[in-house]
């Protein structure tokens, strides 16, 4: 591997409220952010390679913070300079029922305070950003104002799928969303179907490859009658893309377990359950304190199904409820389901 030229380095100040989510393919000299806080308030700094540097920082920063920034930046720069950039690029997908961004349990005082003080969008975006998502599905989306804020904080495009009831969905994408449709049935949608959400979108991956995504939240409850009707209507609509062998994802809260007739319909239609293919353990996604059910999925069909390399629920961080702390709350009663695919 040839030598990389040593770049000049600068530190750029960002607005304190801005969260910068790491991108799948960051600029070659991009490192990350660091936040300082003290008597003069908070400031976030975006770091690039700190080699042969000229640092440009606000004069209000203390010498201690300056040294801390320099040390952190140099360490990160060294890791970046010697990183192996030849590895395969990946597509990281998350399916997440976010419980309308209320926190769970929503009746706990700290959850109520976080909602009242407008913190939930930032909390959600910060936790998701740790997992470098390229595509995210939200079931039980909050109002558009909060959804837009999450998308902005993550630097993602988004499309909203209205609900037949009061549970809209959202698809967020690092890439261009070239088209979208809400509940694209071949016939008129009966009122009892898709009271949560179902939407279809097409995105353009950096390789130029189109990817079709179905974001869905199916009918809940023990009786599968309505869900089975929803799934059959969806598969009927998907059939031309399935038969054409196009890469497709189905992501969301499908409200059924793997040992059901509903699940069998997806498999028979040609979908691959990514967790069943490469996951470890039971993959439980509900609830976020002591998970007991697997009802959230990232399924794939077509060529992309052969490129899945990882699939797991994210039972960690703020996604997980600390059962030993009765004051705490999780971001939702569900866990996110992550799936990672090698890029084409």
Asked which of 81, 110, 142 is the last residue of a domain, the reply is: 81
On whether residue 119 sits in a domain, the answer given is yes
Query: In percent, how much of the chain has pLDDT > 90?
Result: 71
What is the per-residue pLDDT for 188?
83
Asked which of 24, 54, 81 is the last residue of a domain, the reply is: 81
State the pLDDT confidence band at 54, using cuts at 50, 70 and 90: very low
| Tokens 């040992």 -> residue | 259
What is the per-residue pLDDT for 65?
55
What is the per-residue pLDDT for 197?
97
Q: Strand 296-301 vs strand 272-273: parallel, antiparallel, or unpaired?
A: antiparallel
What domain range includes position 46? 11-81
Query: In percent, how much of the chain has pLDDT > 70?
Result: 74
User: Is the predicted pLDDT of residue 81 greater than 90, yes or no?
Assistant: no
Alpha-carbon 104 to chain mean position: 18
Computed from CA positions of residues 258, 263, 268, 269, in that sequence, does the dihedral angle turn out positive or negative? negative
Classify 248 as helix, strand or coil. Answer: strand
User: Is the predicted pLDDT of residue 231 greater than 90, yes or no?
Assistant: yes
On whether residue 4 sits in a domain, the answer given is no
Asked which of 58, 81, 104 is the last residue of a domain, the reply is: 81
What is the per-residue pLDDT for 187?
82
83 compared with 205, residue with greater pLDDT: 205
Query: What are 101-118's pLDDT values in tens digits?
Result: 999 999 999 999 999 999
- 224 and 205 in a common domain: yes
Where b means 16+ CB within 10 Å and e means fewer, 68-87 reads ebeebbbebbeebeeeeeee
Mean pLDDT of 199-211: 95
- 273 and 138 in a common domain: yes
The CATH number given to whatever domain includes residue 296 is: 3.60.10.10
CA gap 311, 297 in Å, rounded: 9
Query: What are 114-127's pLDDT values in tens digits?
Result: 999 999 999 999 99
Mean pLDDT of 309-317: 98
On whether residue 306 sits in a domain, the answer given is yes
């Amino acid at each position: 591997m040839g030598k990389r030229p040593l770049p000049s380095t600068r530190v750029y100040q960002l607005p304190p409220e801005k969260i910068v989510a790491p991108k799948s393919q960051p600029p070659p000299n991009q490192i990350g952010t660091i936040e300082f806080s003290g008597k003069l308030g908070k400031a976030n700094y975006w770091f690039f390679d700190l080699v042969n540097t000229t640092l440009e920082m606000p004069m209000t920063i203390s010498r201690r913070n300056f040294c801390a920034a320099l040390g952190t930046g140099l360490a990160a720069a060294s890791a970046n300079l010697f990183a192996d950039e030849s590895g395969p690029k990946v597509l990281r997908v998350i399916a997440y029922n976010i419980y309308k961004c209320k926190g769970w349990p929503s009746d706990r005082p700290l959850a109520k305070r976080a909602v009242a003080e407008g913190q939930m969008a930032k909390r959600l975006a910060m936790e998701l950003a740790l997992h470098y998502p390229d595509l995210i599905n939200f079931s039980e989306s909050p109002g558009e104002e909060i959804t837009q804020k999450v998308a902005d904080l993550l630097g993602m495009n988004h499309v909203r799928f209205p609900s037949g009831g009061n549970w809209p969905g959202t698809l967020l994408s690092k890439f261009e969303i070239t088209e979208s449709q809400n509940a694209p049935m071949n016939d008129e949608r009966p009122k009892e179907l898709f009271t949560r959400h179902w939407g279809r979108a097409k995105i353009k991956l950096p390789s130029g490859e189109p990817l079709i995504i179905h974001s869905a939240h199916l009918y809940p409850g023990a009786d599968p009658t309505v869900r089975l009707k929803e799934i059959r209507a969806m598969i009927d609509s998907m059939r031309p893309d399935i038969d054409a062998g196009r890469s497709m994802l189905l992501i969301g809260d499908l409200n059924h377990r793997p040992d059901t007739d509903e699940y069998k319909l997806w498999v028979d239609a040609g979908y691959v359950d990514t967790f069943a293919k490469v996951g470890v353990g039971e993959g439980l996604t509900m609830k976020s304190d002591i998970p007991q059910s697997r009802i959230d999925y990232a399924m794939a069909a077509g060529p992309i199904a052969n490129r899945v390399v990882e699939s797991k629920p994210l039972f960690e961080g703020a996604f997980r409820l600390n059962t030993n702390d009765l004051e705490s709350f999780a971001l939702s009663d569900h866990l996110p389901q992550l799936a990672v695919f090698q890029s084409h």
